[in-house]
Structure 1
Amino acid sequence: MEMLHSILLPHKELVGKVCSIVTIAQFFSGAFLCRDIYKKKSTEGISALPFIGGVTIGVLMLKYAVFLQDESVFVVNMAAVILNSLYLGFYFLYSKDNWEEVYKPTSYGLLLVAVCLGYAEMESPEVLEYRYGLLVTILMLLLMASPLKDLGEIISSKDASAIPFPLTFMGSIVSLLWLLYGIILQNNFMVELV
């Protein structure tokens, strides 16, 4: 790992920019889900959780970017919040049950943000970056694993259409890039998250 770090370190700015650009491009894969919603004129079979999770984790990662004083992480998560908010608004327009599909999970996301940001204000600065990084890492892993909640149904029906391919494919590419950037920064949470 140390050897890879020393090889990549001179390219920190370039890798950070590439990570930012490709990650923001990944966020546009949500437009494919919105296109499917528009074609069907319904959100049936499409969950709002990727969009709600994108906003929630994006806000929490903005705080982490401030801790790290890292512009790439900040820009990416600002884009995540903006784009996922737009997608969620679009989802809302076509949802038949806004309470169950949008309002209820969004209220849980807002509560989670309030609790985490409140914790960040109360925690000792000496341990905050580590503990907050751990917290956000766990939440990000849960978001990334959320499509697996329907795994039993997917296996029994032999239909994986509930797992959005564009999000999964782009997520794999983005994960690899952030792994490289985490190695450059020697940031264990970025490396472990991937």
Structure 2
Amino acid sequence: MDSLSEYLQPYKGLVGEVASYVTILQFFSGCFVCKDIYNKHSTRGINPTPFIGGIALGILNLKYGLLLSDPAMIKVNIAAIFLNIVYSLFFYQFAEDKVIEVLKPLSFAFAIVAVILGYAGFENPDNLEFRFGFILTVLSLALLGAPLKDLRKIISNRDASSIPFSITFMATLVTFLWLIYGVILLNTFMIIQNTIGFLLSLTQVILIFLYPGRESSNSSQNSS
């Protein structure tokens, strides 16, 4: 690992810059999901978790950025919160059951955010930065791996259309870039976090290609 880090050191600035720009681009991947919803005029088969979770994580990451006094992190997460609110409102507009699909998970997400922010207010400042960062890591990985909770159903139905390709593909790319950056920095915390995130995202991309779903199959037959 040390030798690989030494080999990549000359590219440290480039990798960090590319990772930052791709992370910002990742926020716009939700536009493709919204376009799909608009074309179908329905949210059937589409999960709002990436949008609602994006709002919750954006708020928590914004708090973390304020703790670190990191202007870049603050700006990025303000953008993330704004875009995911827009995506969630768009999803709400076309949702058949607005309470079950949007309002209920949104209430649950805000309850978690309130508890964690409340904890941050009482935690010892000496421990807060590390522990808050650890909590964010766990929540980020849980959000990345959320579609895999239906893994048995996806395999049995041979249909992974519930996994948003654009968001998942971008997450795979982003976690890979930050993994490389973590290796360059020899940051164990960053390496572990992004290795797990990359594997979770890559697994979902593979599932999408293995089981494209009935709609994709039907459209391919119609084209033929």
Same fold? TM cut 0.5: yes
Greater shift, 173-182 or 85-94, is seen at 173-182
Tell me the distance in 1 between the aligned counterparts of 2:79 and 2:72.
11
Structure with larger RCO (C-alpha < 8 A, sep 6+):
1
Provide the identity percentage.
Answer: 51
Give the Å deviation of 1:94: 0.5
- Who is 1:21 aligned against? 21
Tell me the distance in 2 between the aligned counterparts of 1:174 and 1:31.
17
Structure 1 pair 120–57 and aligned structure 2 pair: CA distance change class (3 A):
same
- Who is 1:170 aligned against? 170
- Who is 2:102 aligned against? 102
Structure 2: runs of 5 or more not aligned = 195-224
Task: Report the 3-state secondary structure (helix = DSSP H, G, I; strand = E; otherwise coil) of the residue aligned with 2:167.
Answer: helix
Give the Å deviation of 1:20: 2.3
Structure 1: runs of 5 or more not aligned = none
- Who is 1:51 aligned against? 51
Listed as ranges, the matches of 1:30-49 within 5 Å are 30-49=30-49
Tell me the distance in 1 between the aligned counterparts of 2:85 and 2:193.
23
Structure 1 pair 173–72 and aligned structure 2 pair: CA distance change class (3 A):
farther
Aligned residues: 194
Residue pair 1:137, 1:189 contacting (<8 A) in 2 also: no
What is the Cα-based RMSD across aligned positions, in Å?
A: 2.1
Q: Which residue identity is paired with 1:154?
A: I
Deviation per residue, 1:53-108 (Å, 9 max, x gap): 01111111112223333344333322221111110010011011111111111111
Q: Which residue identity is paired with 2:86?
A: L
Q: Which residue identity is paired with 1:82?
A: F
Question: Following TM superposition, where does structure 1 have runs of at least 4 consecutive aligned residues deviating by more than 6 angstroms?
Answer: none
Task: Report the 3-state secondary structure (helix = DSSP H, G, I; strand = E; otherwise coil) of the residue aligned with 1:44.
Answer: coil
- Who is 2:208 aligned against? none
- Who is 1:179 aligned against? 179
- Who is 2:132 aligned against? 132
| TM-score, length of structure 2 as denominator length | 0.78
**Rg: which structure is higher?**
2
Structure 1 pair 7–125 and aligned structure 2 pair: CA distance change class (3 A):
farther
| TM-score, length of structure 1 as denominator length | 0.89
